[in-house]
Structure 1
Amino acid sequence: MGSKPWLQPAPSYNPLETYWDTEDDAPGPRCAHTLTAIAPTKSHGPRLILFGGATAIEGGASSPIPGIRLAGVTNSVHSYDVLTRKWTRIRPVGEPPSPRAAHAAAVVGTMVVFQGGIGPAGHSTDDLYVLDMSNDKFKWHRLVVQGDGPGPRYGHVMDLVAQRYLVTVSGNDGKKVLSDAWALDTAQKPYAWQRLNPEGDKPSARMYATASARSDGMFLLCGGRDTSGTPLADAYGLLMHRNGQWEWTLAPGVAPSSRYQHASVFVGARLHVTGGVVRGGRAVDGEAAAAVLDTAAGVWLDRHGLVTAPHGSKGQTEEPALELMRRCRHAAASVGVRLYVYGGLRG
């Protein structure tokens, strides 16, 4: 594949000064949490919702299957106002989910849906919890879902596809690393999970991958750690055809690095990937710490442009913008053309 000089390289990242009224309003140090973007409403600008995660960790940044050795696991909710850069602690009414980390979250309109994870008592249930922010009133409720579902798991991924289907893939159920895929149609009641049997090139079993849905309905699975603990560098797109059949497609291009416990989010057709770790729990470093998969062009990019071969280890970079992304178990979200990254563990 020839060079494409018109492709913009991966962006730089800079610290953002934020504000809060009390210490309780600020999330503080956090890892294995979720960060989701809520579109503006008539009464409120765009917001980021941070939920759960751990405030401390025992041992190293990476741990073997099945334990993740997180401490101070919480179920607190914090809202970040993108326009004012202000954090606020939210205390929704209703029964909250149990404290959890390594869970998954997806936005459905003015609601955020949470599933799975692991907490002080072990695996969280596979119940779907909804944080409803309609009319700027915060309320928890548990979604009633009929039939069998994905089951308890952590280190999995979930997003809303085609503004309609909640899709969850992979993870770890405490006994094994998973490769299954499930979908829930949010437009059809009673709600029910459907186990998918997609055609095409199916991804291997993995955990600690990332996934993000493109605006046209493609669900992109990126990286992760396989059953042997090996970090993965591949990416797969999952798309539903008009006849209702789902299909996996292996994404083209050469990834800058294998990785897991990273973060990824779409802006347009570009999947922005930050951080993560490789084998041994060492942070992804150098130019690979911030990468982009341009799904329109079918190429991976770093800050210098087109990636033609995986990057070798270069040790810690002196470039401050890249050094900021040497982290794992963080979370990311996008609002417009801006990318927001919060928390995690330094490599």
Structure 2
Amino acid sequence: MEEFGVYAVFDINGPPQRLLSSDGSCRVSVAVPASVRQVVLFSSGPWGDRICVCAELNDADRIPITIGKLTPYNKCLSWEQWEEETWTDGVTLTVSLEGGHLSKSEPELILAVKEYTPKNTVAPLTARELSGKRKREQSSESDDVGEAGEEENVCPNGGKDKAPAAARKVRGQSSSRQKLFGDRAESSRTKTVSEAETQELVGKTPPQSASRTKSRQSRTPTQTAPLIEPSGRWGQTLCPIDAQTAILIGGQGARMQFCKDPMWKLCTEDTSWVAAETLAEGPTPEARIGHTAVYDPDSERIFVFGGSKNKKWFNDVHILDTQSWRWSMVEAQGKVPPLAYHSCSMFRGELFVLGGVFPRPNPEPDGCSDSLYIFDPHLSIWYQPIVTGDKPSPRSGHSACVIQERYIYVFGGWDTPVCYNDMYMLDLGLMEFSAVKTCGKAPSPRSWHGSAVLSDTRFLIHGGYNGNNALSDTFVFDTETSSWTELTLPQLSVPRAGHSIVIMETPGRHRPSEDNDGDEEVRSGSVRRTLLVFGGGDNEGRFYSDVTSVPVEDLLRAL
């Protein structure tokens, strides 16, 4: 029987080199020659009791570039220099084997490729330190804006006076402060930039307690403790799978890099996070932002669709079975364009995808969609239904709320240079769109806002981006009266865009009284519905990773 081994191929002309074997060291570091621009790592032979092979690329300053993992289900990783913004000469590849019967006292083995002697070797991270890290076939994390940012997600019909443009970051250029979205003054470019180009979010998490600050993901090699909460990000999804559990997927954070901790599990019993990247088997979706994730309670599966990364646009469907914790990718029939910043709603077991940004060939700028696509998971097929009525204009970054299992209310979004605050309703029984005439003080035009259904007749809108600034206001819409009501809530006073809002259950608490000196006591066995806000950025160089909570009863009481 063939013996187990882990091999690496350095550049396209290099032969495979064995790094780990069944009777050798369980840790190996190898310096990557300066001429090498590609590295492929793969396993061969039966895995047996072996659990995984942890792999890490570090630059000459011992700063991690990417981290990946080989498993019995994902047996190959590849890296390419042009996909890694920080890849420089002096890169070191370190691999370590977890599981099996190898002696843990084996010293680390230092290898060389083509007589290249490493100047620095890096000890591999332990399995615990690698919890939550990526295990993809392609582990590139960086967003090379110098090459990709100029062409991705550019909306049509741009005006020279109104179109907001994202701030550029040139490789090697330092800036003390960069914005989520650019100023309107930059809109004199002949090619206007759409909302999706705000992948150039650059910043940091706002000041918080010392315990939270220590848990932030860092690019410095001095941080060895595993993360205890997600890093700051925007463009992610937070998908509830039951009353007290939600799954966080994807997002982009500081230095325009896609998050190296792309998947987390949130438990609202104690508002704790668990890194979930290594919990699920099967092919993990590639890093992305602007995607959607919807949970189907009948099949107990999460459906992830679309999104974008650098010059890549996605129209793939990935499914996470929350019972077996295994990813699978759908080979769907029918045609649906690659989309990002669309909306996706679940109705009677099908996915209703509306709007979004889609790519066009150069030199024509990317455009926004006004089409409705439906995915049938049972038949694995996409189709476009016959829809009548007054449908919304093309847009992206809008919200869609399902009310009473019958209607989808679509609000806001934009198509450069126009930002919207109009409302449309899709009757899912008649498949008919209609414009909703509203009363009361309506939210200002915006996109990338958060939304959540509060009751059978009300939903909430919070934050977003208006073309210049991130917003912090909150509104509730009543579908029975077609009226807007603005709420003033101290908990939701921080401007943010590209964030996630969900309604979940948290432990119930007594209100403070004079008898207990204002102390709150947890009522045993009681729960309450709570609105939770996570992530986003403020257009002033900050990313958020905190969880803000507001009891739904307090929201309804404030109306």
**TM-score, L = length of structure 1:** 0.76
Q: 1:205 to 1:221 in 2, by over 3 A?
A: same
478, 484, 489: which one pairs with 1:294?
478
- On the 8 A contact 1:123/1:153 being kept in 2, the answer is no
Does the CA-based 8 Å contact 2:424-2:434 persist in structure 1?
yes
1:300-315 mapped onto 2 (5 Å cutoff): 300-303=484-487
| Structure 2 equivalent of residue 213 of structure 1 | 402
Q: Deviations over 1:88-123 (max 9, x none)?
A: 011211001110011111111222111111114x23
1:74 Cα shift? 5.0
Do structure 1's residue 246 and structure 2's residue 431 form an aligned pair?
yes
Larger radius of gyration: 2
**Deviation, structure 1 residue 251:** 2.4
Q: Which position in structure 2 is the counterpart of 1:237?
A: 425
Q: Residue 252 of structure 1: SS of its match in structure 2?
A: coil
Aligned with 2:461 (options 273, 281, 293)? 273
| Alignment counterpart, residue 493 of structure 2, candidates 296, 320, 323 | 323
Displacement of 1:212 in angstroms is 2.3
Give secondary structure in 1 for the equivalent of 2:258: strand
Query: Cα distance 1:153–1:73, how it changes in 2: closer, same or farther (>3 A)?
Result: farther
Any residues of structure 2 matched to 1:19-30 within 5 Å, and which? 23-30=226-233
In 2, the alpha carbon distance for the partners of 1:56 and 1:165 equals 35
Mapped partners of 1:98, 1:75: distance in 2: 12
For 1:248 and 1:94, locate their aligned partners in 2 and report how far apart those are by CA, in whole Å.
Answer: 39
In the aligned structure 1, how far is the partner of 2:532 from the partner of 2:248?
12
Structure 2 unmatched runs, 5+: 1-207, 216-224, 360-365, 506-528, 540-559
1:62-81 equivalences under 5 Å are 70-73=256-259, 76-81=262-267
Residue 108 of structure 1 pairs with residue 293 of structure 2: no
Identity %: 23
Whole-angstrom CA distance in 2 between matches of 1:215 and 1:111: 22
Q: CA RMSD in A?
A: 2.4
Q: Is the 8 A contact 1:48 1:80 kept in 2?
A: yes
Is 1:259 equivalent to 2:446 in the alignment? yes
Aligned-partner SS, 1:321:
helix
- Maintained 8 Å contact 1:75/1:97: no
Give the alignment of 1:59-98 within 5 angstroms.
Answer: 70-73=256-259, 76-90=262-276, 91=278, 92-98=280-286
1:308 alignment counterpart: none
One-letter code aligned to 1:301 = T
Residue by residue over 1:318-338, the C-alpha shift from the partner in whole angstroms, topping out at 9 and shown as x without a partner, is: x743422x1101111112531
- Determine the C-alpha separation between the residues in 1 that align with 2:237 and 2:450: 10
Unmatched tracts of structure 1, length 5 or more: 1-14, 41-45, 58-69, 305-318
Matching residue of 1:181: 372
Alpha carbons of structure 1 residues 235 and 157: separation in structure 2 relative to 1, 3 Å: same
- State the 1:196 CA deviation: 2.7
Judge conservation of contact 1:73–1:100 (CA < 8 Å) in 2. no
Alpha-carbon shift at residue 219 of structure 1 (Å): 1.7
1:191 to 377, 380, 393: 380
Q: Which amino acid aligns with 2:264?
A: H
Q: Deviations over 1:159-209 (max 9, x none)?
A: 202x322100111112211111111234xx322111133111110000111
CA contact (8 A) 1:98 1:124 kept: no
- Relative distance call for 1:179 and 1:112 in structure 2 (3 A) is same
**CA spacing shift, 1:158–1:323, aligned 2, 3 Å:** same
Equivalents in 2 of 1:81, 1:322: separation in Å?
21
Tell me the residue number matched to 1:118. 308
